Amino acid sequence: MSDNLPADPAPPPRPAPDSAPASDTRAAVRGGLPRRLLRNPLGAASAGVLLLLVVAVLLAPLIAPQAPDASALGAAFEGPSAAHPLGMDSAGRDILSRLLYGGRNTLGGALIALGVALALGVPTGLYAGYRAGWFDSAANWAVNLVMALPAMVVLLASRAILGPNVWVLMIVLGVLAAPSFFRLVRGIVANVRKELYVDAAKVSGLSDARIVGRHILIVVRGPVIIQVALVAGIAIGLQAGLEFLGVGSGSSATWGAMLNEAFQNIQRAPLLMLWPGLALGITNGALVLLAGALRDALEERGGPPAGGRSPRRARPAPVLEAPAEAGPRSPLLSVRGLTVVYDRPDGPPKQVVHGVDLDVAPGEIVGLVGESGSGKSQTAFSVLGILPEGGRIGSGSVTVNGRETVGLPEREHRTLRGGTIAYVPQEPMSNLDPAFTIGSQLIEPMRHVLGITRKEARTRALDLLRLVEIPSPERTMRLYPHEISGGMAQRVLIAGAMSCDPELLIADEPTTALDVVVQAEVLELLRRLQRDRGLGVLLVTHNLGVVADLCDRVAVMSAGRIVETGTAEQVVHAPRDPYTRSLLEAVLDDAPPREPWQPREARSTTV
Ligand SMILES: Nc1ncnc2c1ncn2[C@@H]1O[C@H](COP(=O)(O)OP(=O)(O)OP(=O)(O)O)[C@@H](O)[C@H]1O
Burial 194-203 (b: 16+ CB within 10 A, else e): ebbbbbbbbb
| Strand partners for 424 | 507
- Top pLDDT among 384 and 517 is at 384
Let me know if 161 is exposed, middle or buried by CB neighbors in 10 A (0-12, 13-18, 19+): exposed
Question: Is 342 close to ligand 1, i.e. is its CB under 6 Å away?
Answer: yes
Burial 112-144 (b: 16+ CB within 10 A, else e): bbbebbbebbbebbbbbbbeeeeebeebeeebe
Q: What is the 3-state secondary structure (H, E, C) of 365-427?
A: EEEEECCCCCCHHHHHHHHHCCCCCCEEEEEEEEEECCEECCCCCHHHHHHHHHCCEEEECCC
Cβ(40)–Cβ(293) under 8 Å? yes
Residue nearest to atom 1 of ligand 1 (CA): 388
Share of the chain above pLDDT 90, in %: 17
Residue nearest to atom 28 of ligand 1 (CA): 373
The CA 378 to ligand 1 mean position distance, Å, reads 6
Question: Is 370 close to ligand 1, i.e. is its CB under 6 Å away?
Answer: yes
Task: Give the mutation target among 196, 353, 378, 579 for probing the ligand 1 site: most ligand atoms within 8 A of CB.
Answer: 378
Q: Which of 437-441, 589-593, 595-599 has the highest mean pLDDT?
A: 437-441
Burial 62-77 (b: 16+ CB within 10 A, else e): eebeeebeebeeebbe
Cβ(428)–Cβ(451) under 8 Å? no
Which pLDDT score, from 0 to 100, does residue 291 have?
81
Tens digit of pLDDT for each residue in 295-325?
777 666 444 333 333 333 444 444 444 444 4
CA distance 390 to 384: 16
Question: Is 352 close to ligand 1, i.e. is its CB under 6 Å away?
Answer: yes
> Does the pLDDT of residue 356 top 90, yes or no?
yes
Residue nearest to atom 3 of ligand 1 (CA): 342
- Top pLDDT among 460 and 311 is at 460
Residue nearest to atom 16 of ligand 1 (CA): 375
| Strand partners for 358 | 335
Residue 221 banded pLDDT, cuts 50, 70, 90: confident
Mean pLDDT of 528-542: 86
Residue nearest to atom 5 of ligand 1 (CA): 342
Mean pLDDT of 73-91: 81
Atom of ligand 1 nearest to the CA of 426: 27
Mean pLDDT of 61-70: 83
| Strand partners for 399 | 334, 404
> Does the pLDDT of residue 2 top 50, yes or no?
no
Q: Which amino acid is at 246?
A: G
The terminus-to-terminus CA distance of the chain in angstroms comes to: 80
CA distance 218 to 295: 11
Let me know if 346 is exposed, middle or buried by CB neighbors in 10 A (0-12, 13-18, 19+): exposed
Which pLDDT score, from 0 to 100, does residue 542 have?
83
Residue nearest to atom 19 of ligand 1 (CA): 373
| Strand partners for 558 | 561
> Does the pLDDT of residue 202 top 80, yes or no?
no
Which pLDDT score, from 0 to 100, does residue 259 have?
85
- Ordered by where they begin, the domains of the chain are 47-65+87-300 (1.10.3720.10), 333-420+502-590 (3.40.50.300)
The CA 407 to ligand 1 mean position distance, Å, reads 22
Count, residues in the chain: 607
Atom of ligand 1 nearest to the CA of 379: 18
Task: Give the mutation target among 377, 392, 556 for probing the ligand 1 site: most ligand atoms within 8 A of CB.
Answer: 377
Residue nearest to atom 14 of ligand 1 (CA): 375
Question: Is 377 close to ligand 1, i.e. is its CB under 6 Å away?
Answer: yes
> Does the pLDDT of residue 378 top 50, yes or no?
yes
Q: How distant, in Å, are the alpha carbons of 441, 465, 498 from that of 492?
A: 9, 7, 10
Q: Which amino acid is at 382?
A: S
User: What is the DSSP secondary-structure string of 290-319?
Assistant: HHHHHHHHHHH--PPPSSPPPPSS--PPPP
> Does the pLDDT of residue 243 top 90, yes or no?
no
- Top pLDDT among 605 and 256 is at 256
CA distance 147 to 142: 9
Mean pLDDT of 346-352: 87
The two beta strands, 553-558 and 365-369, are: parallel
> Does the pLDDT of residue 79 top 90, yes or no?
no
The CA 372 to ligand 1 mean position distance, Å, reads 8
**Could you tell me which of 310, 306, 302, 365 has the C-alpha nearest to residue 332?**
365
Which pLDDT score, from 0 to 100, does residue 564 have?
92
CA distance 41 to 351: 60
The CA 386 to ligand 1 mean position distance, Å, reads 13
Question: Is 349 close to ligand 1, i.e. is its CB under 6 Å away?
Answer: no
CA distance 135 to 143: 12
At 208, give phi and psi (nearest 5°).
-60, -40
Least trusted range by pLDDT, from 100-104, 202-206, 240-244, 536-540: 202-206
> Does the pLDDT of residue 206 top 50, yes or no?
yes
Report the predicted TM-score, pTM, of the whole model to 2 decimal places: 0.57
Residue 589 banded pLDDT, cuts 50, 70, 90: low
Which pLDDT score, from 0 to 100, does residue 603 have?
52
Residue 560 banded pLDDT, cuts 50, 70, 90: very high
Cβ(412)–Cβ(403) under 8 Å? no
Tens digit of pLDDT for each residue in 15-43?
333 333 333 333 334 456 678 778 888 88
Which pLDDT score, from 0 to 100, does residue 366 have?
93
The CA 509 to ligand 1 mean position distance, Å, reads 14
Cβ(423)–Cβ(417) under 8 Å? yes
Which pLDDT score, from 0 to 100, does residue 26 have?
38
ipTM over 0.90: yes
CB count within 10 Å of CB 330 equals 12
| Strand partners for 94 | 88
Angle made by CA atoms 33, 115, 136, in degrees to the nearest 5: 95
Which pLDDT score, from 0 to 100, does residue 273 have?
86
Mean pLDDT of 401-430: 84
**Could you tell me which of 537, 535, 484 has the C-alpha nearest to residue 510?**
537
Cβ(255)–Cβ(240) under 8 Å? yes
